[in-house]
Amino acid sequence: GIEKKDLKINYRSTETILAYSKQYYLKFENDVPELENFRGTKKNGNKVKIVEVDSPEESVMEIINSIPMSSGNIGIIARTNSQIDTISSLLDRYNIDYSSDSNVHTINQAKKDITAFLKGILYDRPDDIINAMVTPFSGISLKEAFKIAESLRSEENTIDLFDSSNPFFSLRNKELSRENIMDLFESRIFPIASSISREYFLTAATVKSSIGEFFDAERDYTRKNFFDFLDLSYSENSSKSGNSRIILTTVHKAKGREFDNVIYLPKKPRKSDTYIDIIVSSIIEEIKQINVDDELKNESIRIDFVAFTRAKEELWVCTNRKEAPNYLIPEYSEMVAYENIPEKQEVTVPGKYNEAYLQFVSGDYNGAKETLSSKENWLRNIIYEFFQNKNVLSFSLISIENPFFMLKNNILKLNEKTDALYYGLNAHEMAESLYKNEIKNELLGSVDKQILSNIESVVNQIKSGFNMEQIEAEVSAIARINQMFEEFSGQPDNIMFFGKIDAVFSDGKKYVILDYKTDKTIEKASHHRVQLLAYKILYSIKNNISPENIDTAIGYISMRGKINTHENTSGLIYKQPDKYSETSLKKYISKFLEYKSNPDKFIEDYLKQPSEDTLYERLAELLK
């Protein structure tokens, strides 16, 4: 006959893990009848280990190394896709073999590269052409790409003046058609993609298949709907699959599965008290008699419970120092600390992004020969020149902690013009126009009207809360570095710090500096306070005002609630910069000054902090 199993009995986990899971649940929710007879069939095991660290994702590497091969498989369970993304990157970096529901990094990067390349082929916009030239598919060296980019940005040349025999520009006469796009895949994209990785190639193949579906479905196609369709394409066959000992997954996808060892990375839902959240929560509570905050908290506890009970023998819960005590059940768990993150293992992939190889595959044989014979270290020279000549610093520059982004966006000026960037610029222009009374409401669209309404809300809160009036907008302020902190008093007078302050309010004696932000959440508030501290110091020096008479505020004008109603709202944070803000600002300035005095230290840090972006590895090849 068929064996009947009691759903209140867990046949998977040790009694210790089950007792821990049960007591954790009851710690937050007392009345849970389903858990009254919840029990297991296995003996007690080791206590659950609560790993208290600053970077839970980084600690996963050391935990993996501590688990003997004889202890069975390992399930790394995360709450969010962003956690999966980070852990996937780390596992790749440490050259650790694993299986995953989706190889997020490779899929996203391959799609990004292919899309950028095709936009550069089909559009005449300089930014699209520049982004396409630095993809692996362009067929030209990065040195040549940057030279052309400088020429386009300085408007010394138009697109039509470039040599049509150039491996990239020779492709630009193609029209949007099935035949032309498929030819690009066969002759250029596939040969390059196959040299990068299996997952990268499979993603390219899936994108090509999706494009075929686009041409099957569309008759009156345009470049816009082509790229809209491409953005929606999904690389189903690019997952990192197999029978690896290590499995990376989310709680949702782990339901019904079991692992000998589980490393769980919980993540609490963010707390948001925006106007929209308060209104929507009130409506739900009134109609459904449900407390939204309690419901979200209870759901989070249930998700944690599911993750805990995937473990058969051993369970690690990796979380930050603030949340760690919430996961401690003394009788069944113990706190452990992993401080020694293993050193990054060098992964050698011969010729993976070799400049000459990419040129050769693209048919530029003379260019490949020239690259192989050249001994000029042009990229190092650009880096040296940048730090030597960069004497005016800004917060957006010094606060870039990843050297790759500083090299890409600030030194090589390859930063992409995103919709979010244009949205932010537009919002700041509207705030300035509002102060100058230059707004023409009849010309505004619905989006601009919402932005304006949110700006007005923030401004009115400051006016009423501080009994002040706005006295300035878009204020430029600059000071010598040696004026800002005692630690930098020995720096030369020609090294300056510049900032542009969005708005200043005053009652004649006290001042409030306001910085507008278009973030969707307040998660980066502490980082923004570091920026406001810099502005506070600059404004104090410029106007000879005591810093004690200057307050700061962050004005959020595009926030989203926990419950996404597709409406943006505003919010204001008055919390002042603190000791952490000062320490962080000094650290940022010190690091940049170190790079300025020794650019080789920047290059060393660059090579120590890999990025999944294909451009990173191409640049790294030139710096090694």
Helix (H) or strand (E) holding 393: strand 392-394
* 26, 32 contact by CB (below 8 A): yes
Residue bearing the bigger pLDDT, 537 or 164: 537
Structure letter (DSSP) for residue 261: E
**Residues 6 or more apart from 614 whose CB is under 8 A from it?**
109, 113, 135, 136, 196, 353
What residues does 499 pair with on adjacent strands? 477
Domain boundaries, the chain: 9-102+241-336, 104-232, 375-624
Among the listed residues 585, 583, 623, the one whose alpha carbon sits nearest the alpha carbon of residue 403? 623
CATH number of this structure's domain 9-102+241-336? 3.40.50.300
pLDDT at 553 > cutoff 50:
yes
Highest average pLDDT, of 197-206, 238-247, 552-561, comes from 552-561
pTM attached to this predicted model: 0.63
Tell me what pLDDT residue 419 has: 74
CA distance 299 to 281: 16
User: Bridge-partner residues for 336, per DSSP?
Assistant: 51
Rounded-to-integer distance, Cα 535 and Cα 526, Å = 15
Task: Please state the three-class secondary structure of 290-325 as a single string.
Answer: CCHHHHHHHHHHHHHHHHHCCEEEEEEEEECCCCHH
At residue 532, the pLDDT reads 96
User: What are the C-alpha distances in Å from 53 to residues 65, 321, 465?
Assistant: 17, 6, 39
Q: How far apart are CA 160 and CA 152, in angstroms?
A: 11
The strand pairing partners of 39, in sequence order, are 9
- Give the span between the Cα atoms of 312 and 42, in whole angstroms: 9
The H or E element that residue 552 is part of is strand 550-559
Domain 375-624 matching CATH 3.90.320.10: the answer reads yes
At 226-283, the pLDDT tens digits run 888 887 764 444 455 556 899 999 888 888 889 999 999 998 765 544 444 444 444 4
Q: How confident is the model at residue 192 (pLDDT cuts 50, 70, 90)?
A: confident
Mean pLDDT value across the chain: 82
Predicted confidence (pLDDT) per residue in 113-146, tens digit:
999 999 999 998 888 999 999 999 998 888 888 8
